[in-house]
Amino acid sequence: MAKAKAFDAGDSLTDEEAILRRYLAQSFEAGDPALCLQALGNVARALGGRDIAHSAGMTRKAFERTLTDKHVGFGAIARIVGAMGYKLTVQRTMQLKAPDIWQISGARYIRKAGKLRVEFALGVRYHIPITRFPQFAALDREPTARDLKAVKVSPKGRSVQFPRLGVKVRIANVRQAISGGSV
């Protein structure tokens, strides 16, 4: 009785268009790293494993080891894919919300200076001198950390609102300061 030959998916993949569209694309879309490595190995063998390894700057042994290693580096994969005549691309899978430049990451009252420091998500700090605004002077107490947690900037960036204190301060250059102008 004749021995059965081990199945090699690389032997059955002969049409380059089918390799790209059906096999590699579906393997990568599945998102399983082990499946991606296996598909890369099969496609590389179909295209001539020794030539692909040489083009990627690897020995045949290093090439095979790379495709079986669970902790393979991105650089090695990029070289192999490039040697096969393809490139890796990034495609957005979901729509992300645009960053809000008016988002405030923190606010703090600096008692010595008599200022409120508002820090925006972009890392810009804006100091509001309390003595310049009668709204703060009318308060019967100094702002606490809890009072400053709900600080908001108006949608157009023309005023800073302190809802817990019941204060809304119109500041002309908040927008300029956040956008990269001088504070």
pLDDT reported for residue 182: 44
Q: Which domain holds residue 37?
A: 9-83
78/116 same-domain check: no
Higher pLDDT, 126 or 167: 167
* Start-to-end C-alpha separation, the chain: 86
From the list 108, 115, 182, 181, the residue with the least C-alpha distance to 151 is: 108
C-alpha distances (whole Å) from 107 to each of 146, 147, 166, 183 are 10, 9, 16, 16
Give domain status of residue 71, yes or no.
yes
Is residue 18 one of the residues assigned to a domain?
A: yes
Decide: pTM greater than 0.75. no
Strands (E), the chain: 104-110, 115-120, 125-129, 152-153, 159-162, 167-170
57 belongs to a structural domain = yes
Residues 109 and 150 in one domain: yes
Q: Do residue 24 and residue 65 come from a single domain?
A: yes
Number of domains in the chain: 2
What is the C-alpha to C-alpha distance for residues 138 and 158, in angstroms, rounded to an integer? Answer: 22
Per residue in 139-166, pLDDT tens?
777 777 777 777 777 766 677 787 888 8
pLDDT over 70 at 168, yes or no: yes
For 77, residues 6+ apart whose C-beta sits below 8 A from its C-beta are: 37, 40, 66, 88
pLDDT tens per residue across span 82-117: 888 888 887 777 765 655 555 677 777 777 777 777
